[in-house]
Amino acid sequence: MVTFVDRVTLHLRAGRGGNGCVSVKREKFKPLAGPDGGNGGHGGDVVLVADPQTTTLLSYHHSPHRSAGNGGFGMGDHRSGAAGEPVELNVPVGTVVKDAAGETIVDMITPGMRFIAAQGGIGGLGNATLANPKRKAPGFALLGTPGWEGDLNLELKTVADIALVGFPSAGKSSLVAAVSAARPKIADYPFTTLHPNLGVVQAGDVRFTIADVPGLIEGASEGRGLGLEFLRHVERCTALVHVLDCATLEPGRDPLTDLDIILAELAAYPVPEGQVPLIERPQLVALNKVDVPEGKDLADLVRPEIEARGFRVFEISTVSRAGLRELTFALGEVVEKHRAELAAAPAPERIVIRPTGSEKAFTVRVEGGTYGPIFRVLGEKPVRWMQQTDFQNEEAVGYLADRLEKLGVETELYKVGATPGATVVIGEDDAVVFDWHPTMSSPAELMTAPRGTDPRLDLNPRRTTDQRRERYKERMDAKAAARAEDEVERKARHAEEITEQ
């Protein structure tokens, strides 16, 4: 049964914004008292929160699909829709968030840090908000936009002050259990530990965290065994402790050989840019299992050579607890020194990101087509405006045309060679295709047309009653004129016949 997961792929969907409302206030003695349609509510966000109490990504391994609530629709009487319910996902401190392409987006290294992983859609404006002195009673409202939907990869890198490294069954988990209140699984066979174990150690006035890193064998940095799966948990540690087994019964194994192999693997593992290489960090050596007579003899034999290499060496036993106090206080000194250096270092320059307007809010890309060129309009604003438009409403379509014209889309289409009747596409996916006709000079705000209609579009070919009446009168007048002309001709012929007689 899986109990620890440090890599998952989340499938997120933020809430959709609610649609705006089209409504006209009606009261007694005031049948048309003005528009009162409310705005739609914004969609809910999906937020990641760095929680110190969360230690694994297991819950997201079983339930990777998460979605936030949709915004409510606007209503009449200026009632706005409710905002969608946001979803907060607790992740362990040290979680790295990456996009589907593997690029790092954010590192959740600070407890309580919040990151909006999927932003909710924008609620549509109601006709009361869209009203202005030139369009006093809009017959349309804007639709809500969809929220962000996609995949994010979460990768956990353990945040600990001290990392215990060594061969399987060297006693790393036993050491964590001996110096802290952690109770990891311990057995006498290799690869008992399948995930890092964290423990909190109190050494005098210094409190620090310690973690064992399992699965390190020769070739771990190249993907052999479980090394690559867990070497990344060492990246954030201040110092390393090499736990060497002085009582191993495996042939070809001895503390010096184990130390050389582990050092080679640490040197071969690449750390992210800006971090100190693992091999250059403070390192101590713990010769474990000195409670066994053969182990004590071997520890006395190899200790001078290890110290000659520049390492501080401690002889310990997790069974008899010999040497543990000295080791923990030495680790406390290393951690305290590192924290003092961080406090004395100048604070990094705070990066302030201020939004700046782009030189062009859109681009027009010319694409080849079977029946002629296609002009594709791309940009945040045109795509969002297209999503907010109800294409079943003529006035809403006219409003979209006015917005695009004010943005300069039509001018750019002229520049790239578009002609009236050309095919224009807005957006990439779920795009809308138009047969482009340049906008008339007078926008919809200046026209006095029934609500929900735009005379410029002429999408409805059916004639009105007045038009049919005028057409009928024209036909009747034409028939009367034709009869009068026939009567004149008839009288003229009759007069000629009488004259001939």
DSSP assignment of 240-277: EEEEEESS--STT--HHHHHHHHHHHHHHSPPPTTSPP
* Whether domain 7-156 has CATH 2.70.210.12: yes
pLDDT at 226 (0 to 100):
46
* Residue in the structure block whose two tokens are 């019964």: 249
Was 193 annotated as part of a binding site? yes
68 has pLDDT over 90? yes
Was 319 annotated as part of a binding site? yes
pLDDT at 161 (0 to 100):
84
3-state secondary structure of 433: strand
pLDDT at 157 (0 to 100):
79
Parse the chain into domains and list their residue ranges. 7-156, 162-344, 369-446, 462-501
Was 169 annotated as part of a binding site? yes
Q: Which of 189, 110, 111, 108 is nearest to 152 (CA)?
A: 108
- Spatial CB neighbours of 30, under 8 Å, sequence gap ≥ 6: none
pLDDT band at 217 (very low <50, low <70, confident <90, very high): low
Was 368 annotated as part of a binding site? no
Was 435 annotated as part of a binding site? no
The answer to whether residues 322 and 171 touch, using CB atoms and an 8 Å cutoff, is no
- Spatial CB neighbours of 403, under 8 Å, sequence gap ≥ 6: 385
80 has pLDDT over 80? yes
pLDDT at 150 (0 to 100):
93
Was 139 annotated as part of a binding site? no
The answer to whether residues 244 and 285 touch, using CB atoms and an 8 Å cutoff, is yes
The Cα–Cα gap between 447 and 449 comes to 6
Was 317 annotated as part of a binding site? yes
Was 170 annotated as part of a binding site? yes
Q: Which two structure tokens, joined as six digits, stand for 168?
A: 């399987």
pLDDT at 295 (0 to 100):
83
The beta strands (E) that lie in 3-45 are given as 7-13
The Cα–Cα gap between 19 and 288 comes to 67
Was 45 annotated as part of a binding site? no
Question: Which strands form 432-435's sheet, in the order they lie side by side?
Answer: 363-367, 374-378, 423-426, 432-435
Rounded to a whole number of angstroms, the distance between the first and last alpha carbons of the chain is: 125
* pLDDT tens-digit map of 399-443: 888 888 888 888 888 888 888 888 889 888 778 888 887 765 544
CATH ID of 369-446, from 3.30.300, 3.10.290, 2.10.260, 3.30.410: 3.30.300
| Choice between 167 and 446, residue whose per-residue pLDDT is larger | 167
Was 291 annotated as part of a binding site? yes
pLDDT at 351 (0 to 100):
66
Was 335 annotated as part of a binding site? no
Q: What value does the CA radius of gyration of the chain take, rounded to a whole number of Å?
A: 39
Q: Under CATH, which architecture does the 162-344 domain have?
A: 3-Layer(aba) Sandwich (3.40)
Was 398 annotated as part of a binding site? no
Pairing relation of β-strands 162-165 and 7-13? Answer: unpaired
Was 477 annotated as part of a binding site? no
Q: Return the percentage of the chain with pLDDT > 90, whole number.
A: 19
Was 288 annotated as part of a binding site? yes
The Cα–Cα gap between 469 and 237 comes to 88
Mean pLDDT, rounded, for 337-347: 79
Was 213 annotated as part of a binding site? yes
Was 172 annotated as part of a binding site? yes
Mean pLDDT, rounded, for 13-20: 95
